[in-house]
A and B are shown apart, each in its own frame.
Chain A
């Protein structure tokens, strides 16, 4: 069979065109893949910035919380004790030498209590620095402070040992813990609080349980009162963790984050 010259040109042209389709497709694929990589890089950058913002916010909030605790303590305890000391000292009457000694002793006792409270307070200020020593110590100090108020029976168990390079996760987790504890103290009307830190090979679990009145998460979220809850979930998701809340005869909040 003979091929005409027209057919021959057509065959060569077609063959060349078909052979061109393959490299062009390959080039398009490489370009698309590169664009996907670029998008992924942007997303990663956005997540990193978001994480850094959140970390900074958490650090500031931890400081704010500490300052609030300090202010409360100064006003409610140390301030009162020093006022009482002043009142006691001002009522000393030298004309009654028998009572002077008693009043001085009483003022001295009050001053000693104020000093004790101040020491406690300085430990609290130091508390935020304790995160450098590990999450467990920071939580223990926070609970110690709460224990002083004598309103709750507190238990704390931990098998936590700090791993290097997890400060970012720990500060976010600690701030979340503070948020949970605040909610419990303010709204739960609880008399007992149990805190448990359980560290396994790959995970770190923090459980906060109280015997308070509990709450309906859905209802709280609908009524837009659940900003704290929303923050807790958002932050824990940001560090790749998971939050579960059970509210029945009290509230139990479980946080699990990857930690290895």
Chain B
């Protein structure tokens, strides 16, 4: 978050600057989630709300990345409708009493496909790029790694939360997601630094 604020607060692209409030919200949500857990109160609802924010920000950013190649506004709107339907259907199915893990998995799959599509566009374009310093590439790298491996954990999630006898379900998922978070934020931080360098050198 600190790297994000430092590198992006003067960025000329609103899509990149959007990460500053997004990362602040992420930190606040995580802190509040941990606080609720410590208080032995359910914290799924705050993560359910955050999933909507996450979906909108990530997909808007992908939309911004694709804009270099072509307009995908219809694709974005289409996906957001699908997401809304799945999200509320699962919420109603759970009687607003559990985390929307299936919608989360669906969103992960969609973000993976979006990342793959970005790679496809990158490969298809005629010119080559200095990928080691190309901010969108590193942002997508972090995103695809996080959601791809996150799916594995999410698929086990329903099973794990039921399997309380072992007392390890929560911690196992916690460890996996901690590692994935490190990969994600390391990659994103590097993307922000690339963006900062690009801005200051131009």
**A residues near B, CB below 8 A?**
3-5, 8-9, 11-13, 15-20, 22-24, 26-27, 30-31, 33-35, 37-38, 40-41
Contacts and interface: CB of A to CB of B under 8 A. Distances in A.
Contacts, number: 79
Given A15-B156, A34-B122, A23 B148 contact: yes
Given A30-B119, A30-B131, A12 B156 contact: yes
Interface in B105-123: 112, 115-116, 119, 122-123
Nearest to A20: B149
B135 interface: no
- Residue with the highest number of chain B CB atoms closer than 10 Å, among A5, A19, A31: A19
Interface residues of B, number: 34
- Residue with the highest number of chain A CB atoms closer than 10 Å, among B128, B169, B175: B128
A26 B113 CA distance: 12
A11 B137 CA distance: 30
- Per DSSP, chain A at the interface is helix
B145 A24 contact: yes
Given A8-B163, A15-B152, A20-B183, 6 more contacts: A12-B160, A15-B155, A23-B148, A30-B123, A37-B127, A41-B128
Contacts of B156: 11-12, 15
Contacts of A22: 148
Interface string B87-131: 000000000000000000000000010011001001100011101
Contacts of B168: 5, 8-9
Contacts of B160: 8, 12
Contacts of A23: 112, 115, 141, 144-145, 148-149
